[in-house]
Homo-oligomer: A and B are copies of this chain.
């Protein structure tokens, strides 16, 4: 593949249009844009208000089979389908998540699509972009400072320094901050206690930011955050230390959705980026709802594979925001299916139809799962240059037997021209009214039953298990009035089970629940089923070692 250009080479050769022209394509006047340079902008609250009564466009979710190290190309397919829809004459846009800054300095690679299906300016998007994550970090850390200040002076709420659950955040992979002691150095420097930092995308503020319907809702949810407990286990909320007003002020501008463009100069919203394990992994509700008012088709994506990403998109984001998706695109690649069929990463360039057929059980399980939501499913095969015709035919045959249409997509190589057939089909499905969206579970089910229902119905598990402490925590949250919240499953993305090495479609397993956490502001209960890392570390040789400005003033080493 050395004859192919790199993502960054392709991006640098593209010609971007001024952001005002991109906005015009969706009817956004330039005055309603808050530009950040000439190719990025935020969309004003006033404009968002003004389109509230517009007719709603069709929402299309792009999700994927269980991720493998071979890569699936979910964002790339989202971008490619958006370009394809525009290419066939539809008024379409995409809504994706903002990448996190910190990981850019660890492993090489960005998160803005790839090949000829990218959003640009990719360097900006992957670095500070419009400052949203910095604003979220500042709001989060203001609350942290206010909590310690509250304790330092009078601690009127009686917050127990041993029971503060609110940590601090930084948008950096910094393992040394995972567990720290703060407040050392005597009485003028705070109260000594254990704490730590998470990466900014793991902040509950990020989840809240992405679920809030407007600034009032944002402020209300922030006020509801439980920051810790008193000695007698009474929860203390952000509201009780008067934090939500100032925090909302810090988030006011960030809350406006960001508009950029694809390589084919089609409009793209990139806004918010919560973790897909301890949070729901979708771009902001405000971006999605705004896009739906000004485009006829909105293509969006969800984190990880469909068992986690699509489930949370439906059961958390759509439930809370009242969204009704019209179609789902399930992304698969021949390479990833081969891995699900047992092939090692080093052997992926060898044709292996048998492994594909075996690996399709992963695809099949996701198709079955998605069909439970009543939204029509289409498979997009994201073609790699090494895929053989026989391999692709095997996937097609599998899908046909399931009664699902599959499309070979070549957006990585050809951009929107590579997804035309998919785009025609998706537009037709979305317009057909075939989608009869329903949630997987009701608010009224107990928290335990919600988790169990997801595990049995989607993961193929026989049961969920938990020790008494965890079961008591479930009961406590219900007693505290949070029983109606959806659950946010934090499980490995690599398997339907909790063992990341079990690829394909395992079943009959038990899902052990290690811990449950309250996100009272985001309004969900996090059900932790395995190791969850909320502060990554840097590798032995971090990519920061090689990142620099070259003589043309361009960034080298980032991608």
Q: Does A231 contact B (CB under 8 A)?
A: no
Residue of B nearest to A248 (CB): B549
A553 contacts which of B45, B168, B555 (Cβ < 8 Å)? B45
Q: Chain B contacts of A135 at CB under 8 A?
A: 128
The answer to whether A182 touches B180, judged by C-beta atoms less than 8 angstroms apart, is yes
Q: Does A175 contact B (CB under 8 A)?
A: yes
Q: Does A545 contact B (CB under 8 A)?
A: yes
A242 contacts which of B131, B152, B180, B544 (Cβ < 8 Å)? B544
In the bound complex, CA of A548 to CA of B222 (Å): 13
In the bound complex, CA of A542 to CA of B45 (Å): 29
In the bound complex, CA of A500 to CA of B62 (Å): 64
Knowing A105-B142, A243-B544, the reply to whether A249 touches B176 (Cβ < 8 A) is no
A546 contacts which of B174, B181, B245, B547 (Cβ < 8 Å)? B245
Q: Does A68 contact B (CB under 8 A)?
A: no
Q: Chain B contacts of A149 at CB under 8 A?
A: 175, 537-538, 542
The answer to whether B174 touches A191, judged by C-beta atoms less than 8 angstroms apart, is no
The answer to whether A555 touches B249, judged by C-beta atoms less than 8 angstroms apart, is yes
Q: Does A532 contact B (CB under 8 A)?
A: no
Q: Chain B contacts of A219 at CB under 8 A?
A: 548-549
Q: Chain B contacts of A145 at CB under 8 A?
A: 102, 105, 172-174, 176, 538
**Which of A32-40, A292-300, A306-314, A502-510 makes up part of the contact surface?**
A32-40
In the bound complex, CA of A249 to CA of B110 (Å): 15
Q: Chain B contacts of A173 at CB under 8 A?
A: 145
The answer to whether B172 touches A179, judged by C-beta atoms less than 8 angstroms apart, is no
Knowing A171-B138, A557-B245, the reply to whether A182 touches B190 (Cβ < 8 A) is no
The answer to whether B180 touches A152, judged by C-beta atoms less than 8 angstroms apart, is no
Q: Does A235 contact B (CB under 8 A)?
A: no
Query: What number of copies of this chain does the assembly contain?
Result: 2
Q: Chain B contacts of A259 at CB under 8 A?
A: none
Q: Does A434 contact B (CB under 8 A)?
A: no
The answer to whether B172 touches A142, judged by C-beta atoms less than 8 angstroms apart, is yes
Q: Does A558 contact B (CB under 8 A)?
A: yes
Q: Does A4 contact B (CB under 8 A)?
A: no
Knowing A128-B134, A242-B545, A555-B249, the reply to whether A180 touches B172 (Cβ < 8 A) is no
Q: Chain B contacts of A191 at CB under 8 A?
A: 176
Per-residue contact bits, chain A 435-474, to B (CB 8 Å; 1 contact, 0 not) = 0000000000000000000000000000000000000000
Instruction: For the A-B complex with A142-B172, A242-B544 known, give 14 more contacts whose Cβ atoms are closer than 8 Å.
Output: A31-B38, A36-B36, A128-B250, A138-B172, A144-B174, A146-B538, A146-B544, A148-B176, A149-B175, A168-B170, A215-B553, A242-B545, A243-B544, A248-B548
Chain A contacts to B: CB under 8 angstroms: 31, 34-38, 45, 101-102, 105, 124, 127-128, 131, 134-135, 137-138, 141-142, 144-146, 148-149, 152-154, 168, 170-185, 188-191, 194, 215, 219, 242-246, 248-250, 252-253, 537-538, 540, 542-549, 553, 555, 557-558
